[in-house]
Amino acid sequence: MNIDGVELRRARLPLVAPFQTSFGTEYERDVLLVRVVTADAQGWGECVAGAEPLYCAEYVDGAADVIERFLLPALAAAGPLNATEVAPLLSSYKGHPMAKGALEMAVLDAELRLAGVSFGTRLGAVRSRVPAGVSVGIMASVPALLDAVDAYLDQGYARIKLKIQPGWDIEPVRAVRERFGADVLLQVDANTAYSLADAAHLAELDDYGLLLIEQPLGEDDLADHAALARQIRTPVCLDESITSAKTAVDALDMGACSIVNIKAGRVGGYLAAVAVHDVCLARGAAVWCGGMLETGLGRAANVALAGLPGFTLPGDTSASDRFFAQDITAPFVLTDGTLSVPTGAGLGVDVLPDVLAEVTTSTRWLPFR
């Protein structure tokens, strides 16, 4: 595929409500979109880096910078290219998986639109609908949390994930179980907020029949996660720690986790995400699709990924209106607790030009030739 150039676009989407995690509170999504343009097609990529380096080292201004200064010149110098060549061409530059993943996603989308093939088909999806979980932020009070969970269950969400941190963990979990019963699929996510010294405290969660506890300890603490996993009955799932198929294999083999959250941006793109899926499936470890407050573009790709056979747990693949009053694509809507995997070419969704224009804060055209 001959690429004419790439447009980097920044857009700002207000969230329907503040979203609080152990690492901070988000009020809006400041998103970097990548549009790859060829003579016959265009393709969209979404960079999931946050405004600040709080979830991981990447942040959106840094991603835009590394793309413009290093990654795009490397692709432009390569001549005609296809999506499988993007990661190898960029591999000499360390880190920046979210920036790299956004570029690969855009190239892949353009390529698949030209070929008339959907993301789901290309990635290996075997399902036409995927169960949708919802991630519920830390709230000001337990009653406020119960109201929020009640509304999500009413909407039909298939699984609830509670964000936790020291001081907001056992009590909210206990309250949700007491109010909504043992049948609700329930899990928690600590985003690295604890240390191994908290093992006895975290073991108190064992009474509540959780599907999993996600990333209780630091990103680099694989050995400590393995030690923790031996001290609690709740299955340990890793998110931040899993940066590649290699780290997934290591983490599973050393018992640091038994379940893996797969986020394409965290591992360098959707093709790498499939590789993580494949090694987990080969080891019999369940995986599920994480979310990073994606617009309809990233959501389309996530839903396609979540259609792969190893995704046996509901993902953070909620409906568009969980985060945005107005998405930049036609909204993903919940039907019987599921989202449908787009079947159109490429991502199978298109941006709404008027909406996109309204939320855009800057655009920059970077020609390849």
Active-site annotation, residues:
163, 263
Nearer to ligand NPG, 111 or 189 (CB): 189
Binder among 86, 292, 300, 328 for ligand NPG (CB under 6 A): 292
Per rule CB under 6 A, is residue 211 in the interface with ligand NPG? no
Per rule CB under 6 A, is residue 101 in the interface with ligand NPG? no
Nearer to ligand NPG, 194 or 368 (CB): 194
Can you tell me whether residue 346 is helix, strand or coil? strand
For residues 229 and 258, is the Cβ–Cβ distance under 8 A? yes
Nearer to ligand NPG, 87 or 237 (CB): 237
For residues 293 and 277, is the Cβ–Cβ distance under 8 A? no
Subset of 112-141 contacting ligand NPG (CB under 6 A): 135
Q: What would the x/- binding string for ligand NPG be over residues 174 to 193, using CB under 6 A?
A: ---------------x-x--
The position carrying tokens 């009640």 is 150
**Binding-residue total with ligand NPG (CB under 6 A):** 14
Q: Which part of the chain contacts ligand NPG (CB under 6 A), choosing from 111-119, 123-131, 139-147, 292-300? A: 292-300
Report d(CA 21, CA 16) in Å as an integer: 16
Nearer to ligand NPG, 45 or 291 (CB): 291
Q: How far is the CB of 120 from ligand NPG (least distance, A)?
A: 19
Q: How far is the CB of 291 from ligand NPG (least distance, A)?
A: 2
Per rule CB under 6 A, is residue 224 in the interface with ligand NPG? no
Report d(CA 192, CA 325) in Å as an integer: 30
Q: Which part of the chain contacts ligand NPG (CB under 6 A), choosing from 39-47, 220-228, 289-297, 326-334? A: 289-297
The position carrying tokens 């506890």 is 213
Per rule CB under 6 A, is residue 293 in the interface with ligand NPG? yes
Q: How far is the CB of 189 from ligand NPG (least distance, A)?
A: 6
From 200, 217, 203, 300, select the one nearest 251 (Cα to Cα).
217
Nearer to ligand NPG, 214 or 224 (CB): 214
What are the distances in angstroms from CA 149 to CA 65, 143, 170?
39, 10, 16
Nearer to ligand NPG, 172 or 290 (CB): 290
Q: Which part of the chain contacts ligand NPG (CB under 6 A), choosing from 9-17, 291-299, 303-311, 337-345? A: 291-299
Report d(CA 135, CA 187) in Å as an integer: 9
Across the chain, the runs of DSSP E, i.e. the strands, are: 3-21, 24-38, 42-47, 129-131, 133-136, 159-163, 186-189, 213-214, 236-238, 259-262, 286-289, 338-340, 360-367
Pairing of strands 129-131, 338-340: antiparallel
Report d(CA 91, CA 51) in Å as an integer: 24
Binder among 32, 35, 55, 139 for ligand NPG (CB under 6 A): 55
Which secondary structure element, helix H or strand E, spans residue 265, and what is its range?
helix 264-267
Q: How far is the CB of 186 from ligand NPG (least distance, A)?
A: 14
> For binding to ligand NPG (CB under 6 A), which residues are involved?
21, 50, 55, 135, 189, 191, 239, 290-294, 316, 318
